[in-house]
């Protein structure tokens, strides 16, 4: 049973189709792993009965040769995706008892292709965080530990920390996630897995609890580039219910992964060479450059001059949109309701009790930058800088095909570290927010271990809707890195 959970998603699919394993057997193995490793707190809601029923239905389809692209594959769904009849909390107390009567488009696409959902994964509240410490349902534990220091409990990154921990610990072969400023790529790097943030518009946002609507994008987490590419193919597609969904055909993202990279032009931005970056991060980046050069790529120094403004721009735009999106949680229509003497009192009591400290902080920041007298000075200016950041990438992509950077400024840190300073926490997104501001695809690939035995990731950023090329380069990095290390928990 244990070895079934160590198969790749592609390997599981092959064995299911060959009928050498059954979907029920595979699902039971993963449900057992989830039960064994509940201390990780990776899941908010588990759905074992529904999963086993879906597994039996999958076996019946496979027996008749009617399986889809993911028939029989157990997956986890980030608890930001609305799931019909299954509680969806967004990691917040204010939605503690919310059961949607509809299915998000992305999770519906996965169901259409036969995936089995085993549960909803934990996350930072409303996806606001880089540590998974802001969840109303407790922090997620990273299955990795520092070499020689099992006492320190590490964060898995955020906001998709539950999905990352579940995949890394072999509780599921893949999971859905969302990325607003790095919430797929950063936890993927912290846990030694692959995370793809697609081009904005590649995956529908319909049915995903909104944080910052112009930045949010769904994507997959898995243990290999191929597995993540398989999931992305199923998750993607035009959706008329989402006005920002791109009406473009969906390629088979896994089809050309092994295509040679000879002639591919890789950009290395000089602005990402930040003062104070740990030597191990710099060394990992240099190693990634060497790997791609060995794979036949040409390496080019590029400039993205407005990079230094990306983080402050993000932390104006994202809170502004969050303050608007979260206005709907007022205790009247759905979610938590805390009574008061009048309507204003009900609003205030509900939001004060329902939202955690980080969410309240971002709502206040967002309301401030949108307020009369400050809108032009902050929000309007941030949007202008955002346009400049996109223009930087547009110019760079005239001479290169992909951009290579570190995924994070360091390895996973311990619960309690960096927590007392919001600005220090926000700096975890320094290498990732540019792709969200520019709407570009990005992927984090495990590249090795640091001196403490913790995973480090490399990031590739691609041209708009050119995930295929980006993933080919990611596969080359994966092949060269040959990352086989396992976390202490779930190994």
**Catalytic amino acids?**
78, 159, 183
Category of 296 on φ-ψ map: left (φ > 0), alpha (ψ -120 to 50) or beta? left
The residue among 220, 148, 215 whose CA lies nearest residue 180 is 215
Report the C-alpha gap between 311 and 181 in whole angstroms.
Answer: 9
Question: Which of 31, 79, 37, 66 has the alpha carbon at shortest distance from 51?
Answer: 31
- Pick from 111, 129, 107, 130: which is nearest to 120 by CA? 107
Residues 6+ apart with CB under 8 A from 301: 267, 268, 270
Comparing C-alpha atoms, which of 26, 126, 11 is closest to residue 75?
Answer: 26
Residue 270 CA to residue 265 CA, distance in Å, equals: 16
- Asked if the peptide bond before residue 159 counts as cis, ω within 30 degrees of 0, the response is yes
Whose CA is closest to 179, among 192, 163, 198, 164?
Answer: 198
Rounded Cα distance, 436 and 414, in Å: 26
Helix or strand run (H / E) with residue 23: helix 23-36
Cα 472 from Cα 212, distance rounded (Å)? 30
For β-strands 298-302 and 265-269, DSSP reports them as parallel
Cα separation, 42 vs 347, in Å, equals: 31
Rg (CA), the chain: 21
With beta carbons less than 8 A apart as the criterion, state whether 114 and 461 touch: no
**Closest residue by Cα to residue 269 from 298, 304, 297, 299:** 304
The tokens describing 297, both together, are 């790529």
Task: Identify whether the C-beta of residue 168 lies closer than 8 Å to the C-beta of residue 143.
Answer: yes
Q: Bridge-partner residues for 406, per DSSP?
A: 458
Within the chain, what is the greatest distance between any pair of CA atoms?
Answer: 70
CA distance 104 to 230: 19
């Amino acid at each position: 049973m244990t070895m079934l959970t160590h198969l790749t998603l592609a390997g599981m699919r092959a064995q299911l189709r060959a009928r050498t394993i059954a979907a029920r057997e595979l699902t039971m193995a993963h449900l057992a792993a989830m039960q064994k490793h509940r201390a990780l707190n990776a899941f908010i809601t588990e759905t074992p009965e529904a999963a086993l029923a879906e597994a039996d239905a999958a076996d019946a389809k496979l027996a008749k040769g009617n399986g889809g692209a993911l028939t029989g594959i157990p997956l986890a769904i980030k608890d930001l995706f609305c799931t019909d009849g299954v509680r969806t909390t967004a990691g917040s107390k204010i939605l503690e008892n919310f059961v949607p009567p509809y299915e998000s488009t992305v999770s519906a696409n996965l169901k259409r292709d036969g995936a089995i959902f085993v549960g909803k994964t934990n996350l930072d509240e409303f996806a606001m965080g880089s540590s998974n410490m802001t969840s109303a349902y407790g922090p997620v534990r990273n299955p990795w530990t520092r070499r020689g220091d099992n006492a320190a409990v590490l964060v898995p990154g955020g906001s998709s920390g539950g999905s990352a921990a579940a995949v890394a610990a072999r509780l599921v072969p893949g999971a859905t996630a969302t990325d607003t400023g790095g919430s797929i790529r950063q936890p993927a790097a912290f846990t030694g897995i692959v995370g793809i943030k697609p081009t904005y518009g590649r995956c529908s946002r319909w049915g995903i609890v909104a944080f910052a609507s112009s930045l949010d994008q769904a994507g997959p987490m898995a243990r290999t580039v191929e597995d993540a590419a398989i999931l992305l193919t199923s998750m993607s597609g035009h959706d008329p219910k989402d006005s920002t969904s791109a009406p473009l055909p969906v390629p088979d993202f896994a089809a050309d992964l092994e295509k040679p990279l000879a002639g591919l032009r890789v950009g290395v931005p000089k602005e990402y060479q930040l003062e104070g970056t740990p030597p191990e991060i710099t060394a990992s980046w240099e190693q990634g450059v060497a790997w791609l050069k060995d794979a036949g790529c040409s390496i080019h120094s590029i400039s993205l001059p407005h990079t230094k403004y990306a983080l402050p721009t993000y932390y104006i735009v994202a809170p502004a949109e969050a303050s608007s999106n979260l206005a709907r949680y007022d205790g009247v229509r759905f979610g938590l309701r805390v009574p008061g003497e009048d309507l204003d009192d009900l609003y205030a009591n509900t939001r004060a009790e329902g939202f955690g400290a980080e969410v309240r902080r971002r709502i206040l920041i967002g309301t401030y930058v949108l307020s009369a007298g400050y809108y032009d000075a902050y929000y309007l200016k941030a949007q202008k800088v955002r346009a400049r950041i996109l223009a930087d990438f547009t110019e760079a992509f005239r001479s290169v095909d992909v951009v290579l950077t570190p995924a994070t400024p360091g390895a996973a840190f311990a619960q309690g570290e960096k927590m007392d300073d919001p600005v220090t926490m926000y700096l975890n997104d320094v290498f990732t927010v540019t792709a969200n501001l520019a709407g570009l695809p990005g992927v984090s690939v495990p590249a090795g271990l640091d001196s403490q035995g913790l995973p480090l990731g490399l990031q590739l950023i691609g041209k708009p809707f050119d995930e295929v090329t980006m993933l080919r380069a990611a596969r080359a990095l994966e092949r060269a890195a040959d990352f086989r290390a396992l976390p202490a928990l779930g190994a």
